[in-house]
Amino acid sequence: MDYQKLVSVMRTLSLQAGDKIMEIYGQDDFGVEAKSDDSPVTAADKAADAIISEGLRDAFPDVMLVTEEQAATHSAQGDTFLIVDPLDGTKEFIHRRGDFTVNIALVEGGVPTRGVVYAPAKGRMFFTLADGTSVEETGDLAKDQIGATKAITVSDADNAALLVVASKSHRDQATDDYIGKYAVKDTKSAGSSLKFCLIATGEADVYPRVGRTMEWDTAAGHAVLNGAGGAVVRFDDHSPLTYGKADFANPFFIAYAPSVELKPA
């Protein structure tokens, strides 16, 4: 894999998709429909999926592509594949809360190794470089050239005063019960894959997810967090969260800075 080309293509496509998402975000009608699992899908999801899928297939025709919006056509994937959630946080988008992201990642051997997370409404862009380390782009986000970036790294957590981030739309009693096992200084809510990025930048220490997610929801954020020195493990036994499952469904998990002393489930 040409990682330099991959990073450039993923970043540019996320920006192009973000422009289309924000164009629809400014309209009165998002074209909201219900999918077979009753989750919402909008015109923005579909338009962003089309942009990203076409671009990735043109650039990497020999690499398997998995996207949320085309999941019904996918079967168990191979060892190496690209995985996309063109609009993660559709509920945040519909309610105009801004915490939605474009997610593109490469999985190799069950591990997300490269990825980009772009939050168009917030103007924040996180991605892995060709060497696998993660940065946040701080420039003007020009499509044809990577601007100024800063390296990001997870926190050196204070286990007597942890910073916890939890889901904005999917927080429940089981999540609160688990958070209650820690000495917490502050808890913040965030939507979509931004929660992984907040840990990657040291703005939070730990993110427990006691609820359903799919591989396309987490792969890009997981890659960014890996590249910043963080980790994602299964909630039940703290073994690494892996990818390439036949049904794309994740178990419950915990994303964290390794300095956090994890509590048992």
Domains of the chain by start residue, with CATH: 3-151 (3.30.540.10), 162-256 (3.40.190.80)
The model's pLDDT over 12-56, given as tens digits with 9 standing for 90+, comes to: 999 999 999 999 999 988 778 877 666 778 899 999 999 999 999
| CA diameter of the chain | 50
The model's pLDDT over 104-154, given as tens digits with 9 standing for 90+, comes to: 999 999 999 999 999 999 999 999 999 999 999 998 999 999 999 999 999
Distance CA 187, CA 208 (A): 12
Residue 73 has a pLDDT of 66
Residue 77 has a pLDDT of 61
The model's pLDDT over 181-233, given as tens digits with 9 standing for 90+, comes to: 999 999 999 888 999 999 999 999 999 999 999 999 999 999 999 999 999 99
Long-range contacts of 188-191 (CB under 8 A, 24+ apart): 188/163, 188/164, 189/165, 190/99, 190/165, 190/166, 191/89, 191/91, 191/92, 191/97, 191/99, 191/100, 191/167
DSSP codes, 49-77: HHHHHHHHHHH-TTSEEEEGGGGGG--S-
Q: Say if CB 167 and CB 195 are below 8 A apart.
A: yes
Using the predicted structure, report yes or no on whether residue 170 has a pLDDT greater than 80: no
Using the predicted structure, report yes or no on whether residue 84 has a pLDDT greater than 90: yes
Give the CA radius of gyration of the chain.
17
Structure-block tokens of residue 120? 């168009």
The model's pLDDT over 238-260, given as tens digits with 9 standing for 90+, comes to: 999 999 998 899 999 999 999 99
Structure-block tokens of residue 239? 């073994």
Site of tokens 């996309």? 84
Residue 113 CB partners (closer than 8 Å, separation 6+): 106, 107, 128, 132, 223, 226
Beta strands per DSSP E along 129-230? 134-137, 149-151, 162-167, 184-190, 206-209, 213-214
- Secondary structure class of 125 (helix, strand, coil): strand
The residues with which 66 forms a beta bridge, in sequence order, are 83
Q: Say if CB 225 and CB 176 are below 8 A apart.
A: no
